[in-house]
Structure 1
Amino acid sequence: MRACGILMPVFSLPGPFGIGTLGKEAFAFVDFLAGAKQTYWQILPIGPTGYGDSPYQSFSAFAGNPYFIDYRLLVEQGFLTQAELPAPQPVGAIDYGALYRERPLVLKKAADRLLASPTDAYHTFCTRQGFWLEDYALFMAIKAEQHQAGLADWPDALRTRQPEALAAARARLAEQVDYHKAVQFFFYTQWNALKAYANAKGVQLVGDIPIYVSPDSSDLWTHPELFQTDGQVHLTQVAGCPPDAFAADGQLWGNPLYDWPKHQATNFAWWKRRMQHATSIYNVVRIDHFRGFESYYSIPAGNKTAAGGHWEKGPDRAFIQAMHECLGEGGIIAEDLGYLTPEVKAMLAASGYPGMKIMQFAFDRREPGNYLPYTYPANSVVYTGTHDNVTTEGWQQTAAPEDVAYACRYLRCTPGTLTEAMISACLASASDMAIIPFADWLHLGAEARINTPSTQGANWQWRLAQPLPDGLDGHIAELTRLYDRAPA
């Protein structure tokens, strides 16, 4: 079925609390999507973020981000009073430092009220999510006790989960553990309500999960045997991308690499549980860096850049088969950008999952792949750009002039109409799914860029600060119908 949607991070929504939340602005965005005849709302990962604020470096592959909890909904439920709400703020770039200082103070008041008289819903949540919740809550409590030190710098007994040290920590930090469990209950209560509302409106949520977990995560702490470590929860090899035309030193992500033989010996039990969780909270799941299942770039831990790494074989078809057994054969988007070998292409074909096509790449002379729209198979998802690209308006300002001229010749447009022409080319393409970043529909420039890979300091901060243009939903709906992507 031909369909389309909009990419818009939760954190980019407007609202009075310094960051987008799961409150009324999120529900209003669902209404906008439904009015614009959109089938999908694609977001970025929703896990709790740490150093660098990247949603792709989360403290847990299962937990939700406490920053997204809407205070007003907690007031409605009686967990906060109106007087306890922070003063409303004008919508601007996200100040993560301010959120880090303020959020726990307010959420602690709500958690205390819940824990003073726990509800049946809370007990049910803790039971159903116990396979990750208990370890995550203890991890966060210990991390706070260790002055937010990364897992690699914890005392040996705690880092390596010595039973006596863990038992003492559970007793010593019981109140803090309960706080983190309560916060997760608040998050998932609000998330599930938003998902139910969206689905009732005919809007499906497209989630996004990183292939790798963070080096500072409860996942590594709880299951170090599933990763390439030295037996003391210190990493021996880390993840990244090799040097290319976009990054001379490559990309040094620093994530733990999987010990794939260990995963295969369990028939990928951890990954099955992770994907079952993801498919329970999203309608469709995009897996970032999908090519890493065929082969992955391995960098010695301690290297300062990604240069000097090498490729290692991944689980390939065995992983695909395990996912098919667990999930069926649909509901996944494979992020297949980057260096693609014939083996990667064969694995993607065997999976049946749609890959991604980026329209901006079609006109970038640095990009070796052919992303021109005539090459798109039906089983693909096309974007003007992703969260890692500058907006299309911004691309015109930063791309080589000859690349912009080529795009205008190909799309039969002028620079002033290039964004609209690129959107239309995406919608007109043969790809079954087209996803357009909301900033492109708004014709915003580089100020609306979400992330610049391999940089820190100004990423993940953009928020929608201006009112929507009158008639934007009607305009999007008109193009959606024109290119036969509107729901029946």
Structure 2
Amino acid sequence: MLDIGWENYKLTHTELMENEFKNFCKNEDWWLIDFALYCLLKKQYHQDAWNKWPDEYKYREPKALDELSRNHIDEIEKIKWQQFIFNRQWLALKRYCNHLGIKVLGDLPFYISYDSADVWANPDIFELDSSLNMINVCGVPPDYFNEDGQRWGMPIYDWDKLKQNNYNWWVKRIQKNLIWYDVLRLDHFRAFAAYWSIPAEESTARNGKWVKGPGDDLFKVLSLNFPDMPFVAEDLGEIDEPVHTLANKYHLPGMKVLQFAFGEDVADSPHINHHHSQNSFAYTGTHDNNTILGWYRHDADKTSIKNLKKYTGIKKINENNIGNIMIRQAFSSVSDTVIIPLQDWLGLDEKARMNTPATEADNWTWQLTSDQMIAIPYKHMRKFATLFGRA
């Protein structure tokens, strides 16, 4: 469809559309040119990673890139046009949502894939050696769930180099995201305070170490550029006091996930309702959790179900009412914002799970069907929103 659209554009576009496209290319040239060249070279070298390309492209020799640009003008314009069309359509959708009073919550991954236009175009802001190979990679240390930890394998930032440029790359990245979204969730927020650095040659995360992150130094810059600080801190996992201190200093809402609330530490859990704060987002589960029904069937142990019964005063909890019970808990939270996955509103089981962390198969494939769209319980949503003052 994009191929057809590009050919139609070249044959029939209006002057207004052409000017709009030219303005987009001009305004976005700080990333768009490198992205287009990266896509072209990926195709030319059969999707090989950029560090496998011939040296003149791997090391971005200006003469080679200039010649490449001159010899592939149409292909490069097409890649830029595709980005222009996506941007144009997305912003139209966002305007429509905003007109209806709907805000769009985006998600900003902390790390960048090694084989990406970002790393290829900006190797100096990552921990790479003289051959542009990764020195250290990211992940998280061993814990109760993963005895080897998690080795994610993306490159670590060179924060000293980023600081020299006043964190310009991060500022531009966030500025771009805040054009697309109203609020931005900062994934793996704890890495701003300290991150787990693993030698690249290690096959697991066991032999990594904690390294101090940019912390307050970066957020001073962000607060100057984004005075409203429209961010949500993804503060899940093993969180220490410096992480809380950083989030609280800039009044960033954290996340409360009810699936984590009813274990042996129910009385003291930060995820249980009586420990929620107004400046937070409450979830039945996030995209990394099972659905509520799937959680009840497979993940919740006897202690969790026992504590849930005690906490709610409901003696009979089963597959038919677990979703409604957990959604009611979320709505009754004092958290300013409550997020309920559609899978939970629809009472779907583990087959509708969005993502299972530390696995690669069958993630991010769930899609809402037209029949499910019709089955969304709008009246029930409205009733809860009204009852709990969230209308």
* TM-score interval, smaller chain: over 0.9
Q: Which moved more, 1:233-242 or 1:359-368?
A: 359-368
Could you tell me whether the CA contact under 8 Å between 2:148 and 2:204 is conserved in 1? yes
- Aligned mates of 2:260, 2:169 — CA distance in 1: 35
Aligned to 2:281, the other structure's residue is in SS state strand
Listed as ranges, the matches of 1:7-406 within 5 Å are: 106-116=1-11, 117=13, 119-365=18-264, 370-399=270-299, 400-406=301-307
Cα RMSD, aligned residues only: 1.7
- Aligned mates of 1:175, 1:365 — CA distance in 2: 62
Listed as ranges, the matches of 1:454-473 within 5 Å are: 454-465=358-369, 466-468=371-373, 472-473=377-378
| Deviation (angstroms), 1:174 | 2.5
1:422 aligns with 2:317: no
- Aligned mates of 2:88, 2:368 — CA distance in 1: 25
- Aligned mates of 1:258, 1:429 — CA distance in 2: 37
Could you tell me whether the CA contact under 8 Å between 2:139 and 2:198 is conserved in 1? yes
Could you tell me whether the CA contact under 8 Å between 1:329 and 1:351 is conserved in 2? no
Could you tell me whether the CA contact under 8 Å between 1:329 and 1:352 is conserved in 2? no
1:451 aligns with 2:331: no
Could you tell me whether the CA contact under 8 Å between 2:263 and 2:303 is conserved in 1? no
| Deviation (angstroms), 1:330 | 2.8
- Aligned mates of 1:476, 1:245 — CA distance in 2: 36
Aligned to 1:255, the other structure's residue is in SS state strand
| Deviation (angstroms), 1:407 | 1.9
Could you tell me whether the CA contact under 8 Å between 1:358 and 1:371 is conserved in 2? yes
- Aligned mates of 1:121, 1:412 — CA distance in 2: 60
| Deviation (angstroms), 1:233 | 2.3
Indicate the residue corresponding to 2:390 in structure 1: 485
Post-superposition CA distance 1:385-442 (Å, at most 9, x none)? 1111100100001122332232233223312322211111111111111111110111
Indicate the residue corresponding to 2:345 in structure 1: 441
| Deviation (angstroms), 1:462 | 0.5
Post-superposition CA distance 1:354-390 (Å, at most 9, x none)? 0111110112459995321111111111111111110
Could you tell me whether the CA contact under 8 Å between 1:249 and 1:306 is conserved in 2? yes
Q: TM-score, normalised by structure 1?
A: 0.75
Q: Of the two, which has the highest radius of gyration? A: 2
Could you tell me whether the CA contact under 8 Å between 1:221 and 1:233 is conserved in 2? no
The share of aligned pairs that are identical, in percent, is: 36
| Deviation (angstroms), 1:158 | 1.0
Provide structure 1 residue ranges, at least 5 long, that are not aligned to the other structure: 1-105
Post-superposition CA distance 1:16-52 (Å, at most 9, x none)? xxxxxxxxxxxxxxxxxxxxxxxxxxxxxxxxxxxxx
Post-superposition CA distance 1:213-244 (Å, at most 9, x none)? 11111111111111111133211111111111
Indicate the residue corresponding to 1:92 in structure 2: none
| Deviation (angstroms), 1:320 | 1.0
- Aligned mates of 1:332, 1:432 — CA distance in 2: 14
| Deviation (angstroms), 1:202 | 0.5
- Aligned mates of 1:474, 1:425 — CA distance in 2: 18
Aligned to 2:93, the other structure's residue is in SS state helix
| Deviation (angstroms), 1:302 | 2.8
Alignment CA distance shift 1:376-1:345 (3 Å): same
1:431 aligns with 2:335: yes
- Aligned mates of 2:354, 2:109 — CA distance in 1: 16
Could you tell me whether the CA contact under 8 Å between 1:112 and 1:179 is conserved in 2? no
1:412 aligns with 2:326: no
Q: Which residue identity does 1:407 align to in structure 2? A: L
- Aligned mates of 2:71, 2:262 — CA distance in 1: 58
Aligned to 1:363, the other structure's residue is in SS state coil
Aligned to 2:372, the other structure's residue is in SS state coil
Q: Which moved more, 1:146-155 or 1:463-472?
A: 463-472
| Deviation (angstroms), 1:113 | 2.4
Could you tell me whether the CA contact under 8 Å between 1:246 and 1:366 is conserved in 2? no
Aligned to 1:306, the other structure's residue is in SS state coil
| Deviation (angstroms), 1:468 | 3.6
Q: TM-score, normalised by structure 2?
A: 0.93
Aligned to 2:197, the other structure's residue is in SS state strand
Aligned to 2:65, the other structure's residue is in SS state helix
| Deviation (angstroms), 1:329 | 3.5
Alignment CA distance shift 1:454-1:470 (3 Å): closer
Could you tell me whether the CA contact under 8 Å between 1:114 and 1:182 is conserved in 2? no
- Aligned mates of 1:484, 1:330 — CA distance in 2: 25
- Aligned mates of 2:304, 2:4 — CA distance in 1: 55
Corresponding pairs, count: 381
Indicate the residue corresponding to 1:98 in structure 2: none
- Aligned mates of 1:161, 1:365 — CA distance in 2: 55
